[in-house]
Structure 1
Amino acid sequence: MLYIALLTESGAGIRGNASAPNTSIFCHTARVLRAQPRCALHVAVKVHRRAFKQVRRPDARALRILAAVLGSAVFAADVLIRRHFTVAVLYVLVILFVAMTGSRRATLAAAWTCAALTVIAPALSHFSCVAGDAGVRSALSVIAIAVTTLIAVRHQTSNAHLIEQIHLLNLTHDAIVIYDMKDRIAFWSHGAEDLYGWPAHRALRQPIHELTQTRFPAASAEVREALLQVGRWDGEVERTRHDGKVVIIASRLALLRDERGKPRAVLATDNDITGRKHLQAELQRKQDEMSAMLEAIPGMIWASTHDGKVEPVNRRWDAFDIAHGNAAQNGRSLWRTLVHPHDLPRLENDWRSAVAGGSPFESTARLRRKDGLYRWMHLCAEPLRDTAGQIVRWYGINTDIEECKRAEEALERSEAFLAEGQRLSRTGSIAMKLPDGEMLWSQEAYRIFGYAANVVPSMDLILARTHPDDIALVRQSYRQVLAETPSIDIEHRLVMPDRSIKHVHYVAHLSARQSGRFEYVGALMDVTETKQTEEALTRSMTELAHVTRVTMLGELTASIAHEVSQPIAAIVTCGHAALRWLDRPQPDLAEAREAIDKAIRSAKRASDIVWRIRSMAQKRGPSHAVLDLNALVDESIELVLHELHDHQVELDIDYVSPPPQISGDRVQLQQVLINLIMNGTQAMASVTGRAKRMWVTTSMADAQHAHVIVKDSGTGISAEHAKRLFEAFFTTKSEGIGIGLSICRSIVEAHGGHIWAESPPEGGAVLQFTLPVYDGRQQ
């Protein structure tokens, strides 16, 4: 448009000046104007340069002063010089100088002034001339002034119009560029300056594609060919700014042709779409990422319009008879096609409730695959609302929970089996998290404690059920838990609401979770029946031990009679001696007193023997006390001393010093010692040709255990019999019943000790046991 206006204005100037009078100055002006069509582009560039720079003229005041001086000089010459030629025609220069200021009013005022001076000058001239000739020359001058003024004013009007159009074009943000068919820039708008960074005075007449390093989407020749054929071309190109930055341009090209149809120039309107292209690329990337994300989600993504049409989104639907990209279909028909008939009513009811209330939708159902198999799915959807709060769309996902369902069923079966197993074994599970002490109980643990399953487990509930005598023990175990002791093992009693007593055994192990927190995981066992069985067994063992002791006493009748008869005989002898000392004429009281003292000691010894025999014969439970191990062995030997003499056994005794202190039941431990000594004595009964010897020794096995050894020189113990020697009802004697050594093992182990037998290489048998040394705490 601008280029056409420039050419039109140039042509109008040519046609307007063609009819002007042929004066010398006029002809010169006309020749200049005729030359303009040959350089129309040059004229456009010149006009653009002046308009673009707004006022690139000399200073208006200087032009007016120059015009005034020139006008004065012409007027003086017109008055003083002989009038053989028209001097006044030079007034056109004055008008042109004033016109260059751009002021229409000043131009008209200068024209009227020059015309007046042209008329006045002949009247003031001192040279005689032909009046007619002077008048013609003045008339021609006035005509030249008028024509020049008309052209100047019209040119000012055209320039003002062009400048206004250029200013309007410069107001747009688009880059507007005009270049000729040789790609030389003829117009460079402000938008082009801002876009490409090149100022107009450096960009004009430069090849546009070289200046901006244009890169077309196709070959430049193809773009030029399309422009010449169609007259227009739209596309995107890459160009380089003055600062070296590459920008993407949306360029629209329009071809300008002259009257003969010959291409003259190209009008380009450019927009910077770099940011938009980056945004489009980023948007495309986001869309690709979203698409990849939707495809990667292990679920069936779907969307539903407000009227219930379901649109599958990702390829997860391909396995369920709904191919990816199928047209939307009614949700009711879709779900009826896929959902298991037994699950469809519940699903439809959940969907209707969600739609009616506008709340999130959630349900579970089995969906049929292409292979005919049904898989459990978790269906959920969220509504999308508009600004008015109306639901316009639903977005949902179906998640395959088949494996989860199977795991839940397996877990339910496992929990049922575990619960049944715990019920049958009467073993509950208790877990405790540290450091807050939060507890978890199994169903069986609730049953053991006698609490309802809805109460929150706590240490207070455990203490409320604990027997008063065991509360200190339970609190001590809890302190060990807080101190993160690796293992906990405790037995205590519970007092139930019906006042019955339960015995429980709790074992736990400290373990660390992946979260870094510590947790005790343990088992609570109801051992009431076991305790009752142990108590019954203990009573049976006590009774059996009593029977054994009574039987043993029967076997030791001769020894007992001998032990008792000796102090009785001594008492009788001492009594007779005392009487004799008293029956003398002069009674010897000192001798009588000594005889009586001996009688008393013998009576006391007989009493002690009877007491020990009665103790062994009594039927009672164990009674622990602190005992001297050496004295205990000595007392036991006294009861079997006569048997040793009868069997001609030589006894060697070696006691450790100082004597160890142990805690135990005197009678039970005596029974162990007597049984071991009697077994050794009986083992040497068949020995002939060599001495029968027995060694009884006490020593310290270590700092915490005392050691008792009974060794004989009998036939020894075979390797086959050594492993079964302490088993119940196993015996090597033809008349034995095999419970003696079994009772000995039970008694020793009940006292915290250990008993075993060996057969040394030199012959005989060694039966030995250890007992814990009393440390002041055991009782």
Structure 2
Amino acid sequence: MKFPRRTFDQVRRPDARALRILAAALASAVFYADTLTPLHIAVAVLYVVVVLLVAMSGSRRATIVTAWICSALTLIALAISHTDCIAGDAGGRGAMSLIAIAVTSLIAVRHQSGTARLVEQIHLLNLTHDAIVVYDMKDRIAFWNQGAEKLYGWPAHRALSQPIHELTQTRFPDAADVRAALLRDGRWDGELERTRRDGRVVMIASRLALLRDERGKPRAVLATDNDITCRKLLQAELQRKQDEMSAMLEAIPGMIWASTHDGTIEPVNRRWDAFDIARTHAPQNDQSLWRRLVHPNDLPRLENDWRTAVATGASFEGTARLRRKDGLYRWMHICAEPLFDTTGQIVRWYGINTDIEERKRVEEALERSEAFLAEGQRLSRTGSIAMKLPDGEMLWSQEAHRILGYAANVVPGMDLILARTHPEDVALVRQSYRQVLAEAPFIDIEYRLVMPDRSVKHVHFVAHLSARQSGRFEYVGALMDVTEAKQTEEALTRSMTELAHVTRVTMLGELTASIAHEVSQPIAAIVTCGHAALRWLDRPEPDLAEARDAIDKAIRSAKRASDIVWRIRSMAQKRGPTYAVLDLNALVDESIELVLHELHDHRVELEIAYVTPSPQINGDRVQLQQVLINLIMNGAQAMASVTGREKRMWVATRMADAQHAHVIVRDSGTGISAEHAEQLFEAFFTTRSEGMGIGLSICRSIVEAHGGRIWAESPPEGGAVLQFTLPVTMGDSNEQ
């Protein structure tokens, strides 16, 4: 029989090739000594060592062949060294050598047979799925089969001679009791925990058997181990499921019951306690149970339906009033389903009684609730509109009829809505109706209505798609009259625009010195260039080129003064916002020019960093300049009380992400305290005694109206950082 090479792993042998080389060398030496040396001793007996060396390789065939070769060498050496006469002492020594070789070979072959049987037994032990381990009374491992390698992850060559309980970190229920039982009974069965080589803990079902010698002294322990981790996990999961099922049955808000195939009732959960019915395993007669609980007026119908269900095996369902132990009756919805076996016979019934007392009361209050709903819709100016698909049948509430200006007896329809829709919004409403027909999940639209008296209403309609039990889809929505809200919003917008204008005018008053300085520079340049041009013309030979150059400089200075005056006039002008595509870096540069003199007066050192290429934004130039000037002036005023160090301000632009530009204004002032951080952009909040507290609030309104966000931070190194983001645009530069 041939075995896999792995079978011999635990029967250790020296290297066969090395043994054979050594045996050949020794055989050559013995042959040489026996043939050529004048020794009168049985040198050929040393061939026994050669046979033993080959036998150690484990090959039966090689051992026998070696024995024959050694015998042949003995005879050859005897014939060569004693050619004249083989008889006498030489013949005796040769015979003794041959006998020694034969006996040694026989013993070696028998030993190999025993080893082969041992290997076969080891192979059989390796074939089992169990982990088989043999260890001595000092817990040192003497045998470790392949099942143990797979279970614990340790190869045999690493496990042998190791203390098993240290190697596997064994955790007994009680190690002393286990050892005592093993010594007393010779066996022990139980469960224990061990740790694999990879660190995973496994549960083991272990069977131990004690091996004693002929004197009864304990010699070794044979352990047969099985991995029961999965079984334990399944048992724990099963127990958890059972506990969960029990808890779920107790938590269900209903009286759960079971019955035998003939209808005998068995209460299951604690909900029966309120009806003074004990939960026992003994079935209770169905007639006595129902008669104790059911209202007399409901009993005949319920009993008849129950008997019919038991007889036919059909589902049972009914309603009745049941009496609690306090004597009060409550409405119950009673339903049950049969459980059939494989032959179609009813094995058990399972049912639940659900308290519907509240539902009965709700049904009684439904009409009153509908009246309240109608009144609430009237007060909130919100009507309900429902539309069924795909036929488009509509249902309007009373308030929806009033909002749309139709009598209550008018049949609702999409054509009536379109008839009231403002001509400019008809396309929008039709688009929404197409979304409805396409079964869009959500509709949200604001549009205008033109009433018969030519007045205009603003309405907001929202609806969502829902599926009914019939399988049909239906839109349920609300139509809100938001006319007053729109009017209030427009008034608020106008107020904010006027307030922003007042703030800009006030700010221009504060920047008078800076504006005068900015305007005086180009005017002084105009005067200087004019005088220079006159001097060039008054020369005996007028220098027209120099005069032209001076006049060109005067024109450029005049244009610069005109631009400054235009920007100041734009900020002072009272008008609505005008949106255009603007260069953000240029916008920041223009704003800084208007406050540069103020910054110099405050001894503020300004550092500017622009991102390239400059982001393009869509906004109102005047409003955004107002934001920038306000943030810069706030930073300068925050540094007014700073002494002993430089007053520095940083203004930078960058890209927050691919869709938003980022403007940062940072100062080295006193910073923002934690209690003021959340109130900084609220109206009428200020930290300055002379401040009004509306500047930053207006800045937030302007930035948010442009689709951006503004916030403030106080970095650890001091000062304050006020920054805002604006969406970038790829449009042209025409005003919109």
What TM-score do the two structures reach when normalised by structure 1? 0.48
1:712 to 664, 667, 681: 667
Runs of 4+ in 1 over 3 A off after TM superposition: 315-320, 402-409, 775-779
Q: SS of the counterpart of 1:454?
A: coil
CA-CA distance at 1:729 after TM superposition: 0.5
Q: Give secondary structure in 2 for the equivalent of 1:511.
A: strand
2:596 is aligned with 1:636: no
Whether 2:470 is the aligned partner of 1:515: answer yes
Counterpart-to-counterpart distance in 2, 1:481 and 1:767: 46
TM alignment of 1:202-213, pairs within 5 A: none
Q: Partner of 1:418 in structure 2?
A: 373
Structure 1's 700 and 476: CA in aligned 2 closer, same or farther, altered over 3 A?
Answer: farther
1:738 maps to which residue?
Answer: 693
Q: Show the 5 A alignment for 1:590-609.
A: 590-609=545-564
2:440 is aligned to: 485
Residues 1:752 and 2:723 are matched in the alignment: no
Distance apart, 1:317 and its partner CA: 12
- The aligned amino acid for 1:569 is A
What is residue 361 of structure 1 aligned with on the other side?
Answer: none
User: Residue 523 of structure 1 aligns to a residue in which SS?
Assistant: strand
Please, which moves more after superposition, 544-553 or 500-509?
500-509
CA distance in 2, matches of 1:318, 1:511: 43
Q: Hey, what does 2:541 align to over in structure 1? A: 586
CA–CA separation in structure 1 for the residues paired with 2:563 and 2:463 = 51
Number of equivalenced pairs: 393
Once the two structures are overlaid, the 10-residue window that deviates more, 660-669 or 530-539, is 660-669
Q: 1:464 to 1:704 in 2, by over 3 A?
A: farther
Q: Distance in 2 between matches of 1:456 and 1:478?
A: 18
Distance (whole Å) between structure 1 residues aligned to residue 715 and residue 447 of structure 2: 44
Equivalent residue for 2:520?
Answer: 565
Residue of structure 2 equivalent to 1:575: 530
Give 1:715's aligned amino acid. Answer: T
Residue 681 of structure 1: which of 636, 640, 663 is its match? 636
Shift of 1:725: 0.4
CA 463–761 in structure 1, closer or farther in 2 if over 3 Å, else same: same
Match for 1:660: what amino acid? P
Partner AA of 1:728 in structure 2: A
C-alpha distance in 1 between matches for 2:414 and 2:658: 39
Q: Confirm or deny that 1:661 pairs with 2:616.
A: yes
Task: Kindly provide the CA deviation profile for residues 272-328 of structure 1, in whole angstroms up to 9, marking residues without a partner as x.
Answer: xxxxxxxxxxxxxxxxxxxxxxxxxxxxxxxxxxxxxxxxxxx999749x99xxxxx
1:548 aligned to which of 500, 503, 508: 503
Determine which of 460, 466, 472 is the counterpart of 2:427: 472
Match of residue 698 from structure 1: 653
The superposition leaves residues 428-465 of structure 1 with CA deviations (integer Å, 9 ceiling, x where unpaired) of 12223233333222211111111222222222222222
Aligned counterparts of 1:584 and 1:631: Cα–Cα separation in 2: 42
- Structure 2: how far apart are the matches of 1:566 and 1:536? 42
Using a 3 Å threshold, how does the CA distance of structure 1 residues 697 and 480 change in structure 2: closer, same or farther? farther
Alignment partner for residue 529 of structure 1, among 484, 488, 513? 484
Query: Does 2:602 align with 1:647?
Result: yes
Matched, 1:448 2:403: yes
Q: Hey, what's the Cα distance between the residues in 1 that align with 2:463 and 2:731?
A: 29
Tell me how far 1:775 sits from its aligned partner: 5.3
Cα drift, residue 483 of structure 1 = 3.0
Distance 2:476 2:494 in 1: 35
Maintained 8 Å contact 2:581/2:731 = no
Secondary structure of the equivalent of 2:635?
helix
Task: Please give the TM-score of this superposition, normalised by the length of structure 2.
Answer: 0.50
Give the partner amino acid of 1:623: T
Aligned 8 A contact 2:522 2:557 in 1 = yes
CA distance in structure 1 between the partners assigned to 2:479 and 2:363 by the alignment = 26
Q: Indicate how the Cα distance of structure 1 residues 468 and 602 shifts in structure 2: closer, same or farther if over 3 A, else same.
A: same
CA distances 1:666-693 after superposition (whole Å, capped 9, x unpaired): 1111111111111111111111222211
**1:696-749 C-alpha deviation (Å, 9 max, x unpaired):** 122222222221111111111011100000001100111111000111111111
Letter of the structure 2 residue corresponding to residue 734 of structure 1: S
Deviations 1:600-623 (A, max 9, x none): 111111111111111111111112
Structure 2: runs of 5+ lacking an equivalent: 1-290, 302-356
The one-letter amino acid of 2:427's match is A
Describe how 1:138-217 pairs up with structure 2 within 5 A: none
3-state SS, counterpart of residue 504 of structure 1? strand
Report the CA distance between 1:509 and its aligned residue.
2.3
Q: Name the aligned partner's letter for residue 449 of structure 2.
A: L
Displacement of 1:404: 9.8
The equivalences for 1:307-346 within 5 A come to 319=297
Which is higher, the Rg of structure 1 or of structure 2? 1
Name the SS of the counterpart of 2:477 in structure 1: strand
Q: How far apart, in 2, do the equivalents of 1:491 and 1:655 lie?
A: 41
Q: Kindly provide the amino acid, as one letter, of the partner of residue 705 in structure 1.
A: H
**C-alpha distance in structure 2 between counterparts of 1:404 and 1:688, whole Å:** 76
- Return the alpha-carbon distance in structure 1 between the equivalents of residues 624 and 666 of structure 2: 17
SS in 2 for 1:498: coil
Give secondary structure in 2 for the equivalent of 1:457. coil
Q: Tell me the distance in 2 between the aligned counterparts of 1:565 and 1:521.
A: 68
In the alignment, structure 1 segments of 5+ residues that lack a partner are 1-314, 324-401
1:611 paired with 2:559, answer no
Structural RMSD (CA): 3.1
Find the aligned partners of 1:506 and 1:589 in 2 and give their Cα distance.
74
Closer, same or farther: CA 587–541 of 1 in aligned 2, 3 Å: same
Question: Equivalents in 2 of 1:581, 1:575: separation in Å?
Answer: 10
